[in-house]
Amino acid sequence: MKDEVSPGYPHALAKQEAVTLAHGSGGKFSAELIERFMLPRFANEHLNRLEDQATLALSTNRIAFSTDSYVVSPLFFPGGDIGDLAVNGTVNDVAMAGARPLYLSLALIIEEGLPFSDLERILDSIKRAAEQAGVAIVTGDTKVVERGSCDKIFINTSGIGILADNVRLGAERIEVGDKIIISGTLADHGMTILTSRNKLSFENSLTSDTAPLADLVQAMLQAAPNLHALRDPTRGGVAMTMNEFAQKSGLGFALNEEALPINGMVLAACEILGIDPLYVANEGKLIAVVRQDEADELLAAMRSHPQGEKAAIIGEVTNKNPGLVTLTTLLGATRVVDVPVAEQLPRIC
Amino acid sequence: MCLAVPGKIIEIFDEASLKMGRIDYDGTINKACLEYVPEAEIGQYALVHAGFAISVLNEEEAQKSLAAWQELQEKMGAR
Amino acid sequence: MKYLSEFRDPSLAKALLAEIHSTVTQPWTLMEVCGGQTHAIVRSGIDQLLPPSLRLVHGPGCPVCVTPIAFIDKAINLAAHPEIILTTFGDMMRVPGSAGNLLEAKGRGADVRMVYSVLEAVTLAQEYPERQIVFFGVGFETTAPGNAMAILQARRLGLENFTILACHVLVPPALRALLDNPENRVDGYLAAGNVCTIMGLDEYQQIVDEYQVPIVATGLEPVDILAGILEAVRQLEKGEYQLENEYKRSVTATGNLHARKVIDQVFRRCNRTWRGIGLLPQSGLAIRDQFTAFDAEQKFQLQAAEETDNGCLAGQVLQGLLNPTECPYFGSRCKPEHPLGATMVSGEGACAAYYKYQGLIMKDEE
């Protein structure tokens, strides 16, 4: 679904500075694309072999493997772009198992006419994000589709990470009394995207929080041996993640409205658009469920890490209201935080 | 109905003959039309609904209301 | 003073609640007219904290909920034309028409765009002179001034490709219709503070005098609403009925005179059918003849399908005659993912508010 034709396309195509169908057809132009754009950025022993697959030797047979596709619009927003999301999103999914992410695959589906300048900007972000996250891009694929068949560029990344023997995280480990901790402020990413889409009224004062969390996770595992579960609240926000845990564990998740950390300007953007921050995507945050006697130490460890400076305990696991997520409001009443049905739309009423 | 949010007017300007303002909501900045609050001044707080300021908030009245309710709070405490 | 946190102060709220508890000596029923008030009440949990003998019923102040199906169908039909860009607030995107909603129409290729302000639609009309920009103008008196200004602006700019599909509704006629209904059991009313910010309080004073019921204008923050509830029950306990303004930081007796003038300049009162309630005379706003060039209904040949009845009881909910949880379809045939009516879709529809914030049943294990 496109709202408008990208102004760069016809111009870039005419000057031969854009991706064309030929670049995806597997022949000379495809090879040129790889040599000109990919290899200079992602050179490593695996990719340089230019085989159809990467052969990897891992130090353990417990691996975490995740895949995700990225279709965000707009491609570029304050704080990052689709390239950052594509790396950090999959790195984080792998890290949520308590694994150390090592390798990513990178598959691009490009709409013909995407200017080289946009492509290079995205690839630069991927390179930077991969370096920051400590992962290597070891295999990839590029396809080009006709105008209108995809929205400028879609990216898929799959990631592999290795798990230490003693790390076993998951909803099945959650117990009554566990504390729920979030690593930082809510709703930064989703509200940045929403306000970026409307440049007519909104100035871009917000910034996406996209960031790799693997390093934070390793620090957390050191500090809290009884860390039970991790998840990153992306689409559907904290509400979705809490409901997933509640349903899987069959326990009640009681949140405290007063404890939810949120930046003043993000909350203001939510107020203006009538959006509930609990349902907004986060791209650089995680939720940890930890045994209660280790909560304070875990919190301290998180707060001394750059990705966890604003970490806060936001609730606890109970046997009341099993399978449901509840919120104690500022006034002291308790209400249910329901599973999100669909993406929240801005409202004026 | 009518989600309206208070924000501080930080700039007033003309856009296509309409009086407009840049409104600061705790750090998020948005444009709003000030045609319905022609007396509005920079530094005042406007109540904005769907991109239009519908009133300039009266600080004195706000303080009076809060004071009346705070009195209630003290009365409760004294019981 | 930032005008937000002060009016959400939990300790002030608790003091007001305590005073409400000690004031109430018998059962009362209050109606909050405005959907925004409903949303704030259920979201903050006020309804759970009031004395059990004090019942809150939810009124028809949800413009999305009361927009007739015919208008949604017209909007969808317009959007399907390739030369038209249909602009709308996000609120209307998922409201069911006779055959689907605007979001689904967008999925089928209609150019439907969400805007935050109607002026964005005017800007689009300037940017796309070869397209026809239609703005779906729904709302109560609070939203009407903006739409009126958009029409004046379009005229000033000499735009020939901007129109509004206008379906505005007015609160006082709806309030009167509720009060005229012999089944009405409401003792006092909380009026919508942002509507009153525009229109002032005259019409409500008339209603208080004629029907002898207390009406209190309130803001939308929890402390505002509790202050309004306290004032209403104080009056009821004393057997009084007055118009009180508990939103003085924004509402004055005459309202916003600039806005009222422009509303009158661009719109005229008309009869309007409210979805679920029926025809209420002089309860709507239509675009005046001298601005007919900006009226989508006049510019485009619009036909609406016959309204079909799928059994939705939203009309009763909107009039405070039925609590959402009392509806036989609530939570079963009717849920946010497959709503029967607008009150389950709208961000401030009573049914949606109950479903989202109260879940189905909360069991207390202790």
pLDDT tens per residue, range A152-185: 999 999 999 999 999 999 999 999 999 999 999 9
Point out the residues of chain B with pLDDT beneath 50.
Answer: none
Tally Cβ neighbours within 10 Å of residue C176: 18
The answer to whether B2 faces chain A, any CB pair under 8 Å, is yes
Query: Which chain B residues are Cβ-neighbours of A190 within 8 angstroms?
Result: none
Answer whether residue A349 shows pLDDT above 90: no
Count of CA atoms in the C-beta half-sphere (13 A) of C278: 5
Return the biggest CA–CA distance within chain C. 68
* C-alpha distances in Å from residue C305, one per residue of C68, C97, C137: 11, 10, 20
Q: Are C233 and C28 in contact (CB under 8 A)?
A: yes
Q: Is the pLDDT of residue A145 over 50?
A: yes
CA distance C13 to chain A (A): 7
> Tokens for C158?
């000499």
For residue C10, CA distances in Å to A256, B6, C17, C109 come to 14, 19, 10, 47
Element spanning A123, H or E: helix A116-133
Q: What percent of chain C has pLDDT over 70?
A: 95
Residues 336-365 of C with CB under 8 A from A: 336-337, 346-348, 355-359, 362-365
Q: pLDDT tens across C238-273, in order?
A: 999 999 999 999 999 999 999 999 999 999 999 999
CB atoms within 10 A of CB C202: 13
C311 has a pLDDT exceeding 90: no
Cβ distance C202 to C195 under 8 Å? Answer: no
User: Which residues 220-239 on chain C approach chain A with CB closer than 8 angstroms?
Assistant: 222
Among chain B residues, the shortest Cα distance to A200 is held by: B31
Query: What is the percent of chain B where pLDDT is above 70?
Result: 96
The separation between the first and the last C-alpha atoms of chain A, rounded to the nearest angstrom, is 26
Q: What are the tens digits of pLDDT across the range A73-86?
A: 999 999 999 999 99
pLDDT band for position C321 (50/70/90)? confident
The nearest CA of chain C is from the CA of A93 a distance in Å of 28
Distance CA C229, CA C17 (A): 9
Contact C3 B55 (CB under 8 A): no
At C361, is the pLDDT very low, low, confident or very high (cuts 50, 70, 90)? very low
Facing residue for A272 by CB, picked from B1, B2, B5: B5
- Range 39-58 of B in CB contact (< 8 A) with A: 48-51
Contact criterion met (CB < 8 Å) for C36 and B52: no
- Mean residue pLDDT of chain C comes to 92
Query: Which residue of B17, B49, B73 is in closest CB contact with C142?
Result: B49
Q: Which of B30, B31, B50 is nearest residue A348 as measured by Cβ atoms?
A: B50
pLDDT exceeds 80 at position C347: no
**C256/B73 CB distance under 8 A:** no
pLDDT confidence of C79, banded at 50, 70, 90? very high
Q: Is the pLDDT of residue A67 over 50?
A: yes
> What would the two tokens of residue A321 be?
């209201």
Return d(Cα A251, Cα A150) in angstroms, integer: 41
pLDDT at C365 over 50: no
Spatial distance between the Cα atoms of C272 and C258, rounded to a whole number of angstroms: 25
CA A239 to chain centre: 16
Q: Which of B2, B29, B50 sits opposite A205 (nearest CB)?
A: B29
Which of B28, B30, B47 to substitute to test the interface with A, most A CBs within 10 Å?
B28
Is the per-residue pLDDT at A2 higher than 60?
A: no
- The chain-wide mean pLDDT, for chain B, equals 94
Model confidence pLDDT, tens digit, residues C204-218: 999 999 999 999 999
Confidence (pLDDT) at C363: 37
B3 touching A (Cβ < 8 Å): yes
State the nearest Cα–Cα gap between B60 and chain A, in angstroms: 23
Kindly report whether the peptide bond that precedes residue A74 is cis, defined as omega within 30 degrees of 0.
Answer: yes
Chains near A with 3+ CB pairs less than 8 A apart are: B, C
C310, pLDDT greater than 80: no
User: Token pair 């927003």 is at which residue?
Assistant: A77
Q: What is the pLDDT of residue A296?
A: 98
| Minimal Cβ distance to C3: which of B2, B16, B45 | B45
Beta bridge partners of B14: B19
Using a CB-CB cut-off of 8 Å, the residues of chain B touching A206 are 28
Two tokens, residue A218: 């390793």
| Of the listed ranges A34-38, C219-223, C261-265, the one predicted with least confidence | A34-38
What is the three-class DSSP state of A115? strand
Q: Which of A3, A273, A348 sits opposite C143 (nearest CB)?
A: A348
Residues contacting C203, CB < 8 A, separation 6+: C172
Tell which residue, C152, C151, C156, C109, has the closest CA to residue C133. C151
pTM above 0.90, yes or no: yes
- In the predicted model, is pLDDT for residue C168 greater than 50? yes
